[in-house]
Structure 1
Amino acid sequence: MKVKHIIFILTLFAHGVAFGQYDLVIVGGTPGGIMAGISAARLGKTSVILERTNHIGGLPANGLGATDIATRGATTGLFSEFIGRVKKYYVTTYGENSKQAKDCSDGFHFEPAVAERILEQMLAEHKDKITVLKMRQFDAFQKNITLRNDGIEAIRILNRESQAQEEYTGKVFLDATYEGDLGAAANVPFRLGREGHDEFNEPGAGIVYKYWGGAEGEGTTLQGDNAVQSYNYRLCLTNQASNRVEIKKPAMYNRDEYVSLINDVWTGRHTGVQMLGVTEAMLEENRKHIAKGNPSKIPGDVWGIARITNMVSLPNEKTDGNNQHMAFISTDLPEENWPWPTSGWAWRDAYAQRLRSYIEGLFYFAQNDKELPQHFRKAAKEWGFAKDEYTDNGNFPRQVYVREGRRFEGEYFFTAKDATAVTPGQRPPVHAGSITASHYALDSHAVRKREPNRIHLDGFLSYPSQVYTVPFGVMVPKILDNLLLPVPVSGSHIGFSTLRMEPCWMAIGQAAGTAAALAIDKKVKVRNVDLRDLQSSLLDQSATLLYYKDIHAGDPDFKMVQVLGLLGYLPAWEARLNDAVDAPTLLLWETLSHSKLAAEPGKTSRKDVLQFLYKNL
């Protein structure tokens, strides 16, 4: 080592700088970051995961216990391993025939503490390869990143406990934050807000007012803007008295924020498509009905605490409490979160406290305000926070549900067309460079608070999609050679709205860790990793790259079907290996393979022909 390098290092130590050198430097202990570290570790690579808080796990460890996935089996790999461990935990702990084992829904529903415990266990199994450092804050300033030769050489992190600066060097860097702070510091171009319909011809793009479950209504212009979809906390609630904590009035309680709920409750007015058949006379009649001690009779209306939060059951009589989609006022707090993606942590922390206070105030109002019907308040008071969750944070989630932060402009830009069928009943476009299959609706929450005479909140929408493929390019920036973006991926507001689900992020993270390991082994830029090698490795890890209804990870012919499917041999939803090949299919396969196949239509099985093709690729 040269003398000037020794002097430089000694100077940094004198200023409280610590060093760490790893194959992968991962910013963000989200599930996407965790799975990246695990997949890289299983390929022999070292990682450091730098997590800002005292807890890893992101949203699954903070209330999002009802897994957001529309087609089970579409996303597998490490995500399947995670849910498999969830199921095993409940079966082992409570018994195979227990209510807890049933309520875990084959591992797709889980308590926050269980999610954190399992993710910690998965990391601990690779402690020789993965270093997890908590209370490490990355601030998105250029001074905190060293760029050299079109790559990142080092980043600097604040140790929130010691207040010392620490420096980490690595071969590949991953931004696994919900906000996209590392990519921003590295000057990767990004987008915020909503594209207009005119840019990508997407459903739901721009300004949209839409009945929940219905069509767009008055006020819809489809124009783009800078609005960011709202955040909330995913609450863990229970109505079990032995484990219920009363929700108390917060110090910053402002009753005026919630008074619009009073008339909604008394009349039954809500934001669902059922309101198309409801008249003002029906709303007034409902008021009289409620005054007699009855619950609401308006179609689609809900009573009690469900009026302000949508609840999905979890084991041990708990719920995943999300924003109520059918309400004008719920746990989302639109508009005020718009600065979050590009703000510093001081602002974010202040907003997080504001959001917590707002939600606690909303529940206190619903349970106690005397202008609400007494029997409504009584029903609402049956619920409280789960006493055995978040015990170091007043039983309240620690992580804001950041639904959307920066969206980087990568090698591939994902839009709604990538998740919707080319023709009805068929697949969306199949990406030959797929790193995972996934499926969730095109789904976004509101960007603005309640406005007069609108049928719903601006931007609160859902449109159907089909199981789709995610190309490698969504996490590869157009600049820099050793950076991957597995969480703040590349896409439009609507395209990102389906990619942003944790199962998909886990799968993209797994692919990121695998790609990083291959890049290091082959001594190539991450963007130049051989996609066939990446896909082969992912398939060996039981990842699903192209979903089939009749062939699943673990089946003997799974890898063959996946590889040939991505090459265009199996465009339908089923592989039908045991069926006889027909003449049109045989012609397709001969065209794709540029060869004459020794097969007889109506007699030779599809499986036999495909196995021949696979062996001779």
Structure 2
Amino acid sequence: MRKKTLVFSLLLACATAFGQSSYDLVIVGGNPGGIMAAISAARMGKKSVILERTRYVGGLPANGLGATDIATRAATTGLFREFVDAVKQHYIDTYGPASEQVKVCSDGYHFEPYVGARIFQKMLDGQKDKITVLIMRQFDAEDENIVMRNNRIEKIRILNRETGEMEEYTGSVFLDATYEGDLGAAASVPFRVGREGKDEFGEPGAGRVYKYWGGPEGDGSTFKKDNAVQSYNYRLCLTNNPENRVPFTKPARYNREDYASIVEDVWTGRNTDVAMQRVTSEMMEENRKHIKAGNPSKLPGDKWGIAKITNIVHVPNMKTDANNQHGVFVSTDLPEENWPWPTSSWEWRDKFAQRLREYTEGLFWFVQNDPELPTHFRKAAKEWGLSKDEYVDNGHFPRQVYVREGRRFEGAYFFTANDAIPVTIGSRPPIHESSITASHYALDSHAVRKREKGRAHLDGFLSYPSAVYTVPYGVMVPKEVDNLLLPVPVLGSHIGFSTLRMEPCWMAMGQAAGIASALSIDGKVKVQNIDLSRLQDKLIDQKVTLMYFKDVDYTSPHFRMVQYLGLRGYLPEWTARLQEPVDAATLAAWKKLSGTDLPGIEAGKTTRLAALDMIYRKIK
């Protein structure tokens, strides 16, 4: 495995030394946003280079995030849906359509890390004549690494981490597909780090907030702005299959104090779930006796064994996507210590990544071995270990930190929680006519501070409901750099960004960035001035859902028409109801909106489809 990687790296280095260093698109970052940008641009005939700092492309879905974070699956389609469908087909082809693996893959939305990486590579290979992937290429957000003239990036300088040499890349359009926003920062695009206060945008969950998981905001909540950054972790691929299980080992710099408070949490059952509001001290002492008698915890909301420190979602072949456990005080997140990450050097980031790995390994060692924990708790925890067949060149541990939030930029449109919340109960969030994708996930942030005495939960660990929303093109467009797009470190508040930051949405925004780049190049216009209607047409050509409807998806022959008119106010509800007769009030509204009499269309007799089709042909 290592030999193949080395040979591949050397070939890439030679290709750069003697080959092309100028491209249509220069994409910094090989995560899903960058990958999809390159693929969508390739489908429009444009050549891209992806400059990836590590030896592997794929970002978090190739590093343990195998349980796809999306609330309404049909909301986000396009290349993301192609990825999901390819995952499902992999399991069908490998194990058979009736296999357990196909069942557990959940229609392709749950997958093993190596499968995610393999699908991304196959998608890239499908455009290998137009996409160059260069690994071990590091961009540092320093002035000397970017050359700009007349509000345009002319070239960037990249460190080849294998040779130690600097390389230069020129392009027509540059894309920042880093989780941190390093390229945008180097281009002097204004950015934010930290949390806005509730007074700025009136967002739920803004500022300093303490709340039980699933409960109301509680004591200590000030809703004031600060410089806090939500915590990072590793998404672990665990297994309880003895034949594929690698036990955790005690790290060299093990610090028991990082985990000591877990002991009392286990014995009493203390947790951070909303159910704790009904728990008394007497109930916790009774639970301690219950556990001493050899039983698992019986306290409401409490977890036992490995689930006490990590949330587990199953993926095929007896593996997991193991994330931070949201119902406890100590888990795989490491709050506070990551705050410098967004604006720090890679030297600092690498040191923190190692600290986070050792913290995580120590956490699992602790719950499996610490003598102060109940014997039967430790035994239950020891059923789990790392998957032997994943990350074989990295000690079976993920290669990439889950950077949930880096820099958040300012520019053409600043996305807030209000863009993801229904305007009225049951209605849609605001509809953006310039939408580049629909998306849906909760307003979701992980903790920003470690455990504090007397608090119901960790500061900033929260979730608020949203509804399927539209994402305007402006969220990735700076105001004053004419050939730069920001499809990953997009423009938004801490709470607004918390829903955009999911990989399906990043893939969709990357796809839109690739097409927008092609249109900018072909039209010889700034990225700010591309024809948005053409962008949307091209996105629909690639089966992207711009506005979600419950009854019309991208497979419908009427999809293009419904998308176009929906974004322009003709279909504000969740269903299009194309086969129903158009009522008088709706017909009158459509006539006014379209500025036409719609001859031959009769209320109560003509279908909504016929009326909308006539409008579409007249105004499109």
TM-score (norm 1): 0.97
1:612 aligns with 2:592: no
Amino acid at match of 2:614: F
Unaligned runs of 5+ in 2: 1-13
Deviation at 1:602, TM superposition (A): 1.1
| Superposition map of 1:41-52 within 5 A | 41-52=42-53
Amino acid at match of 1:368: N
Q: Residue 123 of structure 1: SS of its match in structure 2?
A: helix
- Tell me the matched-pair count: 603
1:463 aligns with 2:464: yes
Query: Take 2:596 and 2:609, find their aligned partners in 1: how far apart are those partners?
Result: 17
Deviation at 1:597, TM superposition (A): 1.6
Query: Take 1:411 and 1:601, find their aligned partners in 2: how far apart are those partners?
Result: 41
In structure 1, the partner of 2:6 is none
Identity of aligned residues (%): 70
Amino acid at match of 1:41: A
Deviation at 1:348, TM superposition (A): 0.2
Amino acid at match of 1:490: L
Deviation at 1:554, TM superposition (A): 1.6
In structure 2, the partner of 1:217 is 218
Deviations 1:547-566 (A, max 9, x none): 00000012100010000000
Q: Residue 49 of structure 1: SS of its match in structure 2?
A: strand
Q: Residue 75 of structure 2: SS of its match in structure 1?
A: coil
1:554 aligns with 2:563: no
Deviations 1:397-426 (A, max 9, x none): 001000000000020000011000000000
Q: Residue 295 of structure 1: SS of its match in structure 2?
A: coil
1:273 aligns with 2:271: no
Summarize the Cα distance change of 1:98–1:112 in structure 2 as closer, same or farther, 3 Å threshold.
same
In structure 2, the partner of 1:35 is 36
Deviations 1:13-52 (A, max 9, x none): 9xx9986000000000010000000000000000000000
Amino acid at match of 2:81: S
Query: Take 2:589 and 2:466, find their aligned partners in 1: how far apart are those partners?
Result: 27
In structure 2, the partner of 1:484 is 485
In structure 1, the partner of 2:348 is 347
In structure 1, the partner of 2:428 is 427
1:436 aligns with 2:437: yes
Query: Take 2:35 and 2:51, find their aligned partners in 1: how far apart are those partners?
Result: 10
CA contact (8 A) 1:19 1:166 kept: no
Amino acid at match of 2:55: N
CA contact (8 A) 1:18 1:166 kept: no
Unaligned runs of 5+ in 1: 1-12
Query: Take 1:276 and 1:480, find their aligned partners in 2: how far apart are those partners?
Result: 51
Query: Take 2:18 and 2:100, find their aligned partners in 1: how far apart are those partners?
Result: 51
Q: Which runs of 4+ in 1 moved over 3 A?
A: 16-19
Deviation at 1:126, TM superposition (A): 0.7
Deviation at 1:337, TM superposition (A): 0.1
CA contact (8 A) 1:335 1:448 kept: yes
Query: Take 2:78 and 2:560, find their aligned partners in 1: how far apart are those partners?
Result: 13
1:291 aligns with 2:292: yes
In structure 2, the partner of 1:583 is 584
In structure 1, the partner of 2:4 is none
Query: Take 2:587 and 2:19, find their aligned partners in 1: how far apart are those partners?
Result: 63
1:282 aligns with 2:283: yes
Deviation at 1:367, TM superposition (A): 0.2
Deviation at 1:600, TM superposition (A): 1.2
1:74 aligns with 2:75: yes
In structure 2, the partner of 1:20 is 21
Q: Residue 21 of structure 2: SS of its match in structure 1?
A: strand
Deviation at 1:497, TM superposition (A): 0.3
| Superposition map of 1:328-477 within 5 A | 328-477=329-478
Q: Residue 616 of structure 1: SS of its match in structure 2?
A: helix
Query: Take 1:45 and 1:161, find their aligned partners in 2: how far apart are those partners?
Result: 28
| Superposition map of 1:58-97 within 5 A | 58-97=59-98
In structure 1, the partner of 2:8 is none
Q: Residue 470 of structure 1: SS of its match in structure 2?
A: strand
Query: Take 2:460 and 2:18, find their aligned partners in 1: how far apart are those partners?
Result: 45
Q: Residue 169 of structure 2: SS of its match in structure 1?
A: strand
In structure 1, the partner of 2:523 is 522
The one of 599, 603, 606 equivalent to 1:601 is 603
In structure 2, the partner of 1:155 is 156
Deviations 1:143-180 (A, max 9, x none): 00000111000000000001111000000000000000
Deviations 1:416-472 (A, max 9, x none): 110000000000000000000000000000000000010000000000000000000
CA contact (8 A) 1:194 1:206 kept: yes
Q: Over aligned residue pairs, what C-alpha RMSD do you find?
A: 1.0
Q: Residue 73 of structure 1: SS of its match in structure 2?
A: helix
Deviation at 1:371, TM superposition (A): 0.3
Query: Take 2:616 and 2:581, find their aligned partners in 1: how far apart are those partners?
Result: 17
Amino acid at match of 1:608: A
1:592 aligns with 2:575: no
CA contact (8 A) 1:206 1:221 kept: yes
TM-score (norm 2): 0.97
